[in-house]
Amino acid sequence: MDFGVVLQTNPPASRTVQLSTLAEAHGFSHVWTFDSHLLWEEPYVVHSAILNATKRITVGPFVTNPATRDWTVTASVFATLNEMYGNRTICGIGRGDSAVRVTNGKPVTMRELRESIHVIRELANSRPVEYKGATLQFPWSRGSELDVWVAAYGPMALKLTGEVGDGFILQLADVDIAAWMIKVVRDAAEAAGRDPDSIAFCVAAPMYIGDDWEHMRDQCRWFGGMVGNHVADIVAKYGADGDVPQALTDYIAGRTGYDYNSHGKSDNDHVDFVPDEIVDRFCLLGTAEDHIAKLEQLKALGVTQFAGYLQHDNKEETMRVYGETVIPALSDHITAKS
């Protein structure tokens, strides 16, 4: 299992770079950043600084979208970074959340998401692509490599991920829900004639090492509010009694609204509707042993990467314990089985 960290590009950018170098030192393989250009600093500029300050870490947005960024420009960014620093980029993409909602926009359609994935991937892999009636290719790009991982929750998005995604990003760490979603993606891949084992499965959630459960929960409760936005969209489309697991829909009954100006912040003051049980189920909290036990369950489901959000007050210590205890424990487990 690979391990990543998910950071916000808050100023100063040097702090984000510092945390990224620390993540590399502790054995994390990926650094992901939020991508909402109004709420935080421009991620791709910061990505360049991260890549320049590190040697092996892979960097990408978590996640970008096809609505606020031109697809060909997005592809050019990745191909350029790959030329500058080697093939050390990755693209997480979804229909659009905070980046489009703060401008009163709407997420793109499934068709647009599918087309954008194809255009971005082909161009960023130094290949030609048909786009708006023209054949496009970067004449300066040689040997660039880019995987595109799709963030999804609902049945249609999960199906699309299985059909075209290089990887699947699930932004919650509930074992039961992860099992259902991974199966939907795998079944869609198989139905499309793809090898399900060729798809990377990334679970992302806040990770907090500690023993004060009340404090840890309060620091990570924001995540239940963030996930609630996606769940609310799914319930509105499919109904609470549809194909979506009840465990994913029950907790939003008390949800009354959401302010994207507090998106992803540990001091978010309007997520009281998120109960302790959901925080515990959706996040990784507690001692190193608690984290290892849950990660073993996720790995058994086929999860190939865990990406931990660090929007809390214990960033360095959490990364240290992961580097010294959690990551080696999962690596040892993999070695022992092979």
Quick: pLDDT tens for 74-84.
999 999 999 99
Token pair of 91 as six digits: 């693209």
* Mean pLDDT confidence for 5-14: 97
* Mean pLDDT confidence for 201-216: 98
Strands 2-7 and 305-309, sheet pairing: parallel
Whole-model pTM: value is: 0.89
pLDDT of residue 278: 86
CA pair distance 196, 318, nearest whole angstrom: 32
Quick: pLDDT tens for 82-113.
999 999 999 999 986 665 656 766 778 999 99
Contact call for residues 301 and 175 (beta carbons, < 8 A): yes
Upper half-sphere CA count for residue 148 (Cβ side, 13 Å): 29
| 3-state class (DSSP) for residue 99 | helix
